[in-house]
Amino acid sequence: EEQLVESGGGLVKPGGSLRLSCAASGFTFSRSSMNWVRQAPGKGLEWVSVISSTGSYIYYADSVKGRFIISRDNAQNSLYLQMNSLRVEDTAVYYCARAGPAAIRGSGYFDYWGHGILVTVSS
Amino acid sequence: DIQMTQSPSSLSASVGDRVTITCRASQGISNSLAWYQQAPGKHPKLLISAASTLQSGVPSRFSGSGSGTDFALTITSLQPEDVATYYCQKYNSAPLTFGGGTKVEIK
């Protein structure tokens, strides 16, 4: 069974840093593009970043560009999101999501989702 | 960047009603459009890809249509378990933008 499990969330002060992890199992992680999606409390879904299967293609939403870094370790079946210079408006549940089998170069719909992890940025 | 506009933002309908949600892209995206269902307190679930391809296990009362800039998600006979927020998403290229969501409730 395909599974994505996020970890590393919590409370951080504005300007601080946090690193999220996503552990994948039940599918061939090394062949899958992976994404981070977030949802602020009571708000809609916001795509954050994508990394292709080999890491050759990486894209970010304008709202996080220059502050967040997506990376992956295919040997460990893990996806990461390094979040720096955090702002109050980054408070959200962060989901890890797999792009479907036809995804190339950072495209693709999301067929598997994790349950999400809460990041709270507050003083 | 391409913007995705959903309407309505919320709706209330009776069990058995036909419900239609629309999604408009600010530029053509061919059929690179997905629909997701997010039940309260849950993670999103993929319903439809390629504008009209129903995912395995999704009830046949759900259907998708459209191409280019105008798309629709239709529930032919609304059921209590369909209470959720529905999102469209363009996925042809980054940014992989979502629509604002449509909250569906039972009257």
CB distance A17 to A31 below 8 Å: no
Q: Cβ B95–A110 below 8 Å, yes or no? A: no
B67 touches A at CB < 8 Å = no
| Closest chain A residue to B95, measured at CA | A61
B98 touches A at CB < 8 Å = yes
Cβ contacts of B32 on chain A, cutoff 8 Å: 107
Helix (H), strand (E) counts: chain B: 0, 10
Q: Cβ B87–A59 below 8 Å, yes or no? A: no
Cβ contacts of A100 on chain B, cutoff 8 Å: 46, 49
The predicted pLDDT at position A106 comes to: 81
Nearest to B91 among A108, A113, A116 (CB): A108
Interface with chain B: mutation pick from A2, A45, A112, highest number of B CBs within 10 Å: A45
The predicted pLDDT at position A103 comes to: 83
| Closest chain B residue to A45, measured at CA | B98
**pLDDT tens by residue, B2-20:** 999 999 999 999 999 999 9
Cβ contacts of A104 on chain B, cutoff 8 Å: none
Looking at residues B88-104, what average pLDDT do you find? 97
**pLDDT tens by residue, A61-88:** 999 999 999 999 999 999 999 999 999 9
Looking at residues B17-27, what average pLDDT do you find? 98
Looking at residues B50-76, what average pLDDT do you find? 98
Strands (E), chain A: 3-7, 10-12, 18-25, 34-39, 45-51, 58-60, 68-73, 78-83, 92-99, 110-113, 117-121
Q: How many residues does chain A have?
A: 123
Q: What percent of chain B has pLDDT over 90?
A: 100
The predicted pLDDT at position A70 comes to: 98
pLDDT at B75 over 80: yes
Residue A9: pLDDT band (50, 70, 90) is very high
Residue A47: pLDDT band (50, 70, 90) is very high
The predicted pLDDT at position A50 comes to: 97
Q: Cβ B94–A107 below 8 Å, yes or no? A: yes
